[in-house]
Amino acid sequence: MPDTGERTGTAASGFDSEPSKAYDGNDSTNASIIQFSTTISGPAIVGGYAGDDLAAGVTIDGIEIRIRANFAAAFAATKLVNVKLSKDGTSGTFNNPSTGVVSQNLTSTTTDYTFGGSSETWQHTWSGFTDISNLAVSLEADQQSDSAGTAVTGIFAVGVTVHFTTADVVLTSGMTIKGGSVTLKSGNLIIK
């Protein structure tokens, strides 16, 4: 099944410091969510995913979200909660995956965490969707044990990969190629 490859956001909001570090591709810097109580943080959002749009007629099979994150070891251990996806931009409707609310304990070592996958549609209807820049990811942070007053969650990357199926192309009349070439990457080509 083809996919777009991982796409990177171009905008972020809701972080307590350095929001652009959540998508800048630099593993030595991060955006932070800082909590001074055991209350779940407000949503941090990354959107405006860059790259070519999908071709008209493709079927979206699933969306995979990769979040590279950790917690600051000097403070309380944290987890990611309420990881959601919007197809209508940063102010659109954010849905949980079909499996329900997501929660992932973090470690103090920067690690990649994957949510969704090649068949997870995030409870959205994708018919006619082509503009990847309209995707947005929302996430929140919480303390793992609610025992300490301060916690710092570092977000190093929030990437998305769109898995899709291409539409069959049916020629009802002849095909003419003038100059150039035809490259077949996979599948069958039958010429009669």
Quick check: is 187 in a domain? no
Number of domains the chain contains: 1
Using an 8 Å Cβ cutoff, are 159 and 6 in contact? yes
pLDDT (0 to 100) of residue 14: 97
Q: What is the CATH number of the domain that holds 141?
A: 2.60.120.680
Quick check: is 147 in a domain? yes
pLDDT (0 to 100) of residue 137: 98
pLDDT tens sequence for the chain (192 residues): 799 999 999 999 999 999 999 999 898 999 999 999 989 999 999 999 999 999 999 999 999 999 999 999 999 999 999 999 999 999 999 999 999 999 999 999 999 999 999 999 999 999 999 999 999 999 999 999 987 789 999 999 999 999 999 977 666 666 666 666 667 666 666 666
Neighbours of 147 (CB within 10 A): 9
Quick check: is 57 in a domain? yes
Domain range holding 86? 7-165
Quick check: is 191 in a domain? no
Quick check: is 118 in a domain? yes
pLDDT (0 to 100) of residue 148: 74
Quick check: is 186 in a domain? no
As given in the structure block, the two tokens for residue 92 are 């659109």
Residue written as token pair 């103090």: 108
Q: What are phi and psi of 20, to 5 degrees?
A: -65, -15
pLDDT (0 to 100) of residue 136: 98
Quick check: is 185 in a domain? no
Quick check: is 44 in a domain? yes
Residue 91 three-state SS? coil
Among 78, 81, 83, residue whose Cα is nearest residue 108: 78
pLDDT (0 to 100) of residue 149: 82
Can you give the pTM of this predicted structure?
0.86
Using an 8 Å Cβ cutoff, are 17 and 4 in contact? no
Cα–Cα distance between 103 and 183 in angstroms, integer? 44
Neighbours of 2 (CB within 10 A): 14
Residue 75 three-state SS? coil
